[in-house]
C-alpha cells in the first residue's frame, strides 16, 4: 500500500495494527456522530472547575529526582469535577471525575493533563473491551462479569453517593511512564485525595443492588431527596470561595518497568489495582484550589490524555488486545471529538481515519459546514437520558441515537462493526 504523503500522518494511527485501527476508527466515528449531534462531551458532560497551585513537597521519600515533579517546585493547576453520566442531576449515584491540568509556572501553557475518577479500577482492560462494553446490552455485560467478578467490583466501586466532590478519592487507573533524571523508567499511577486524612477511600461507597447498575450507568435519585439538581457544583464553588479554598493531597504509585512483555501487560491492566502493600501511594505534593472558574471557562476546558512530555509519557500499544491500547486509543478519540465539538477543521489524517470506518458520519457538520447548516443539524439541548443500546433486526441504536446498521444479537460470532464481542451473548454482523 502507498501512503498518502499529501497530509501529515498521526503517529498514534500509524502505530496501530489493522484490527486496532478498525476498532478505534469505528469507536471514534460513533462518538463523533454523537458529538456532532449534541455539540457536547460524551462522558463527564457538565462540570465545575477551579484553579490554584500544586506545591511539590520538599522531601519525597523513595522517588528519584524527576524534572517535572522535583522537590520544592510549584505549578499553576486547574481541577474540573464532574459526573460520568449524570449531566443534570448530581443526586444520581454515579462515578465522579477529577480532571487535573498542570501548567508551566513560566509560560502558563499546559504540561500534563490527567483524568482521574472514583474507584481504583476500570471495567475495561483494553480498547476492545471498552468498545464491546458500550455496544452490548446489560444482559451480555452481566454474563461477562460473572466470569470476571473483579470487573463487576470495578463498576460498583466507581459509583459514589456523596454530598461533596471534595470528599472523595480519585484514581488515574491508567499507567503512565515516568523517566527520571538518572535515566531510569517506572510505571506510575496518580491519585487525588482530600487533605483531611479522616476522609477515607470508603467515602461515598455504594453497596451493590444487583449484578450491575442500570444500563444508564447511574442510579436515579431517591424520591425523597430534595437537594438541588446541581448541589455538588454549588458546594464546590462555595468551598473554593472560602478562606483557604479546597485542599487535596496529590499522590502516586510507582513500580519498575517489568522486563518481559507479559508481565508488562499485567502491570498495565487497569481492571486490577496494584497491591498497595507492595506499591504504596506516596505523597507527592499539596493542591490548593482557591479561585472559581466561570461556567464558560469550565465548558471551554479541553483535557487531552495525549498531552505529555518526555518525563511523563503515554505508554503506546500496537494491538487492541494490549492493556496499553485503552489509553493510546482514547487519546485519539478525545481529540477528534473535541475538534468536532468546537467546530475546528479536522486534520486530514483524522478525517480519513473516520471516513474509512464502518460507521457513516456526516462530516458536513464540522467546521467546513455553514453556520446555518450547523444550527439545523445539531441540538444544544443537554439531556440526562442515556438508553445505551436498543437492538433490533435493522441494527442497534446507541446512546444519543448513534446508529450502527446491520447488527443483531446471536449466540456466537463476533462484533462485526467493532471486530470484537464478549463471550456469551454476542453481537454479530448480519
* Every domain of the chain and the residues it spans: 11-377
Grid cell of 269 as nine digits: 491492566
Cα separation, 190 vs 116, whole angstroms:
8
DSSP 365: G
Tell me which architecture the domain covering 11-377 has in CATH. Answer: Beta Barrel (2.40)
User: Cβ distance 275 to 120 under 8 Å?
Assistant: no
Q: How far is CA 414 from the centre of its chain?
A: 26
Q: Which of 351, 355, 349 is nearest to 5 (CA)?
A: 349
Low-confidence ranges of the chain (pLDDT < 70): 1-9, 33-45, 217, 342, 359, 361-430
Question: DSSP state, 79?
Answer: E
107-117 pLDDT, tens digit each = 999 999 999 99
Q: Tell me the C-alpha distance between 213 and 164, whole Å.
A: 22
- Give the model's pLDDT for residue 244: 94
Helix (H/G/I), strand (E/B), else coil: 48: strand
Q: What is the spatial distance between Cα 58 and Cα 74, in angstroms, rounded to a whole number? A: 11
Task: Please spell the DSSP secondary structure of 88-108, one letter per residue.
Answer: S-TTSBEEEEEEEEEE-TTT-
- 392 forms beta bridges with 395
Q: Are 177 and 268 in contact (CB under 8 A)?
A: no
Query: In the beta sheet, which residues pair with residue 55?
Result: 74, 286
Position 332 scores a pLDDT of 81
Q: What angle do CA 237, 120, 184 make, to 5 degrees?
A: 105
Q: How many CA atoms lie within 13 A of 9 on its CB side?
A: 9
* pLDDT value of position 45: 65
All three cell numbers of 45, joined, read: 458532560
CA-wise closest residue to 48 among 108, 104, 114, 97: 97
- Residues 6 or more apart whose CB falls under 8 angstroms from that of 242 comprise none
Contact criterion met (CB below 8 Å) for 181 and 175: no
Bridge partners of residue 101, in order along the sequence: 78, 113
Residue 400 pLDDT: 35
pLDDT score recorded for residue 286 = 98
pLDDT digits (tens, 9 = 90+) for 178-187: 999 999 999 9
With 0-12 CB in 10 A as exposed, 13-18 as middle and 19+ as buried, what is 352? Answer: middle
- Cα three-residue angle 120-330-300, rounded to 5 degrees: 95
Amino acid at each position: 500500500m502507498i501512503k498518502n504523503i499529501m497530509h501529515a500522518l498521526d503517529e498514534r494511527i500509524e502505530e496501530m495494527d489493522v484490527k486496532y485501527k478498525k476498532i478505534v476508527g469505528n469507536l471514534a466515528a460513533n462518538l463523533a456522530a454523537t458529538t456532532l449531534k449534541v455539540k457536547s462531551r460524551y462522558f463527564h458532560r457538565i462540570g465545575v472547575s477551579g484553579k490554584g497551585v500544586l506545591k511539590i513537597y520538599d522531601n519525597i521519600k523513595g522517588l528519584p529526582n524527576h524534572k517535572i515533579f522535583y522537590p520544592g517546585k510549584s505549578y499553576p493547576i486547574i481541577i474540573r469535577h464532574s459526573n460520568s453520566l449524570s449531566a443534570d442531576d448530581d443526586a444520581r449515584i454515579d462515578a465522579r471525575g477529577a480532571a487535573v491540568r498542570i501548567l508551566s509556572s513560566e509560560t502558563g501553557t499546559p504540561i500534563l493533563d490527567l483524568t482521574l475518577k472514583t474507584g481504583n479500577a476500570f471495567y475495561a482492560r483494553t480498547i476492545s473491551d471498552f468498545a464491546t462494553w458500550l455496544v452490548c446490552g446489560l444482559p451480555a455485560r452481566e454474563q461477562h462479569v460473572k466470569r470476571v467478578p473483579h470487573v463487576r467490583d470495578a463498576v460498583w466501586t466507581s459509583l459514589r453517593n456523596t454530598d461533596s466532590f471534595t470528599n472523595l478519592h480519585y484514581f488515574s487507573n491508567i499507567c503512565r511512564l515516568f523517566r527520571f533524571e538518572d535515566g531510569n523508567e517506572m510505571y506510575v499511577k496518580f491519585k487525588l485525595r482530600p487533605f483531611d486524612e479522616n476522609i477515607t477511600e470508603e467515602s461515598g461507597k455504594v453497596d451493590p443492588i444487583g449484578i450491575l447498575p442500570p444500563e444508564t450507568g447511574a442510579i436515579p435519585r431517591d424520591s425523597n431527596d430534595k437537594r438541588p439538581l446541581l448541589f455538588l457544583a454549588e458546594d464546590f464553588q462555595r468551598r473554593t470561595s472560602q478562606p483557604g479554598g479546597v485542599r487535596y493531597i496529590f499522590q502516586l504509585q510507582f513500580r519498575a518497568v517489568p522486563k518481559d512483555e507479559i508481565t508488562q501487560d499485567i502491570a498495565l491492566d487497569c481492571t486490577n489495582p496494584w497491591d498497595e502493600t507492595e506499591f504504596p501511594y506516596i505523597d507527592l505534593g499539596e493542591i490548593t484550589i482557591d479561585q472559581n472558574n466561570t461556567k464558560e471557562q469550565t465548558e471551554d476546558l479541553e483535557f487531552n490524555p495525549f498531552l505529555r512530555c518526555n518525563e511523563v509519557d503515554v505508554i503506546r500499544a500496537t494491538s487492541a488486545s494490549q492493556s496499553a491500547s485503552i489509553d493510546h486509543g482514547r487519546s485519539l478519540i478525545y481529540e477528534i471529538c473535541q475538534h468536532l465539538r468546537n467546530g475546528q477543521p479536522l486534520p486530514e489524517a483524522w478525517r480519513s481515519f473516520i471516513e474509512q470506518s464502518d460507521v457513516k458520519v456526516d462530516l458536513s457538520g464540522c467546521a467546513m459546514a455553514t453556520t446555518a447548516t450547523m444550527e439545523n443539524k445539531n441540538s444544544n439541548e443537554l439531556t440526562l437520558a442515556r438508553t445505551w443500546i436498543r437492538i433490533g433486526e435493522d441494527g442497534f441504536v446507541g446512546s444519543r441515537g448513534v446508529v450502527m446498521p446491520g447488527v443483531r444479537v446471536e449466540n456466537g460470532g463476533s462484533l462485526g462493526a467493532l471486530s470484537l464481542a464478549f463471550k456469551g451473548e454476542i453481537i454479530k454482523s448480519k
